[in-house]
Structure 1
Amino acid sequence: MKIRRPSLESRSSVCSFISRDKSTKPVFSVLWSIYPKLLVAIAVMSIGFVAFFLCRHWAYQTELFRVCQVLITGNDRVTEEEILQLSNVTAQDNLLSLDLESIAKSIEGHPWVHSVEVKKKLPDHLMITLKEHTPVAILNSDKMYLIDEQGEIIDRLSIEESVSLPIITGIDPKNIIDNNLTRSHNNRIQKALELISMASKGTRTLGVNNISQIDIAEKDTLILVTSYGSIPFYFDYENLGVQFSRAEKVLYQLYRSGTYKKAVKVELDYGPGKALVSLKH
């Protein structure tokens, strides 16, 4: 009986299969080579976390970072005692544990504070920089209020305070709620503040020192009364810049001619490029 030998191709494929099988490592051998590296990585990470929390705990407990000094700058109206009280920071606090955002928000609750920047200066200094509101006018309604350039009420004006600012009138007390103006009346005050802003720029005939009062009248009219001569100038809400330039020219001529004492009123909205000056006879 003849034995059939496998062909050359089949023998070569079997051999190649055996050789490939011998070159493949067992699964448990591969895992055994990976596990030590993984365990080492986990151990290093664990040690790192523990070290971090231990250092953090030490930093929050050590006397090195106890608040030693609070440096306050930019305050004029607000006293340092008020700022410290609002910040609620004491010498027992740890500098690293302070919530700067919370401190700034608390200080900004003061009516005179516009914005606050709070920084840490290691190892033991806290720096607080204030920007206060700047009053530009007095709002005379049922009470006297100081207002800033945005038309927001800063605070009430006490009888003891002596300030030299233009007075804005014509706002009904009903439109002031919790020391805040209603939106529509805030927009009207903005028009008066535009005049004050223009008068504050440079040396002018109608400078801010020459504005005694601005009355917010009906029918979109502003009545500006000068400090020298008490001359009322009537503005409408449109093209205030053009009207203001015209008012300065008229006022210059009145002062130059000496007739400003006879001026009863000046209407700046009389017509395009015109103004009507009424004089006493």
Structure 2
Amino acid sequence: MNSTRESRWTLTRLFITLLLSVFFLILYRELTEWRYFETKQILVTGNSRISEKEIILQAGVEPGTNLVQLNLSAVRKQLLAHPWIEDAQVEWRVPSAVGITVREHQPLAVFDIDRRYTVNVQGKIFKIWDGTEPDHLPVVEGLKFSDLGISGISHSIPFNTVMDVLTSGKSSDCVIPNEMIQRVLLDRELGVTLLIVPNEKTYNINEIKLGYEGYPVKYERLQDLLNYLKHRQNGIMIDSVNLTNPDRIVIAPIHTESLDEDDLNEDDKEEV
């Protein structure tokens, strides 16, 4: 008797499951064919570099797409495949809109490692340099791929050194903002040298040797030097400044030999 009752209950459950399956299939078909759920509007936010049209094209969502059929996860993956998109969120906004929110990579510099790569503010390579980047990005030379912390390995000291300099240069009140830096040259023994855009504000300085570590103090000393030159009326123009030792600044005026405090004659020697 019990066996017969269990068989009937099993058949009943199978029948109910079948009915529910058929019901949901019919419901899904009706929803996917119902014009009420057709995409009528695609809302894009968070973009500045990438156009709204390009983002929609990358997402693969078109007006008329049925929202019930839309795979939001797949759309997000398509958006993340775009080289300038760091993160993206896609949502269905009832009844007939798709919302796309993107976060774009913020370019910091170009790393020249065999070929040129564009790096964001986290120090992550996000695309091969192709000339579409902002013109003012500094070009970093002297790093290796092994410095980048790929495959879970920690970033190297040279990499962190370069990032310290570039992060400092993001500040608008930095004495040498990144917009003024043409190239960052890394020497593994001597540290960092900046080749900057000559201008009157920096007395046409071409090169600043920073070495390793202590950059806030070195930038303060550089600012002191620029303030000193501002009030000195002899029209001195400097080719390079060596701040490797911030307690002993070495300058090389344009078209002269490199001088330090001991090499200056009495007429030129002043406390900076």
TM-score (ref. length: structure 1): 0.67
Partner of 1:134 in structure 2? 106
> SS at the partner of 1:269?
coil
Write the distance in 2 (CA, Å) between the matches of 1:164 and 1:108. Answer: 25
Write the distance in 2 (CA, Å) between the matches of 1:88 and 1:60. Answer: 18
Write the distance in 2 (CA, Å) between the matches of 1:237 and 1:260. Answer: 31
Q: Is the 8 A contact 2:241 2:250 kept in 1?
A: yes
Residues 79-228 of structure 1 mapped to structure 2, 5 A cutoff: 79-140=51-112, 145-149=117-121, 150-158=123-131, 163-171=134-142, 175=144, 182-184=145-147, 187=156, 188-227=158-197, 228=202
Q: CA deviation at 1:259?
A: 6.9
> SS at the partner of 1:102?
helix
Residues 214 and 203 of structure 1, relative CA distance in 2, 3 Å threshold:
same
Q: Is the 8 A contact 1:206 1:248 kept in 2?
A: no
> SS at the partner of 1:196?
helix
Residues 258 and 225 of structure 1, relative CA distance in 2, 3 Å threshold:
farther
How many residues are aligned here? 241
Residues 18-29 of structure 1 mapped to structure 2, 5 A cutoff: none
Partner of 1:77 in structure 2? 49
Q: Is the 8 A contact 2:205 2:240 kept in 1?
A: no
Residues 1:247 and 2:222 are matched in the alignment: yes
Q: CA deviation at 1:46?
A: 8.4
Residues 74 and 169 of structure 1, relative CA distance in 2, 3 Å threshold:
same
Query: In the TM superposition, what whole-angstrom CA distance separates every residue of 1:28-49 from its partner, at most 9, and x where no partner exists?
Result: 9xxxxxxxxxxx9999998777
Q: CA deviation at 1:125?
A: 0.9
Q: CA deviation at 1:166?
A: 4.3
Q: Which residue of 36, 40, 60 corresponds with 2:32?
A: 60
Residues 83 and 207 of structure 1, relative CA distance in 2, 3 Å threshold:
closer
Q: CA deviation at 1:67?
A: 1.8
Which residue identity does 2:183 align to in structure 1?
A: Q
The CA RMSD over aligned residues, in Å, is 3.8
Residues 130 and 81 of structure 1, relative CA distance in 2, 3 Å threshold:
same
Query: In the TM superposition, what whole-angstrom CA distance separates every residue of 1:132-183 from its partner, at most 9, and x where no partner exists?
Result: 112223445665544321242434233xx584424224247xx5xxxxxx24
Write the distance in 2 (CA, Å) between the matches of 1:264 and 1:80. Answer: 46
Q: Is the 8 A contact 2:38 2:64 kept in 1?
A: yes
Q: Is the 8 A contact 2:117 2:125 kept in 1?
A: no
Gaps spanning 5+ residues in structure 1: where? 1-27, 29-39, 176-181
Partner of 1:275 in structure 2? 248
Gaps spanning 5+ residues in structure 2: where? 2-11, 150-155, 257-272
Partner of 2:238 in structure 1? 263
Q: CA deviation at 1:222?
A: 0.4
Residues 89 and 54 of structure 1, relative CA distance in 2, 3 Å threshold:
same
Which residue identity does 1:168 align to in structure 2?
A: V
Write the distance in 2 (CA, Å) between the matches of 1:75 and 1:53. Answer: 38
Residues 259 and 184 of structure 1, relative CA distance in 2, 3 Å threshold:
farther
> SS at the partner of 1:83?
helix
The sequence identity of aligned pairs, in percent, is: 18
Residues 246 and 67 of structure 1, relative CA distance in 2, 3 Å threshold:
same
Write the distance in 1 (CA, Å) between the matches of 2:229 and 2:117. Answer: 33
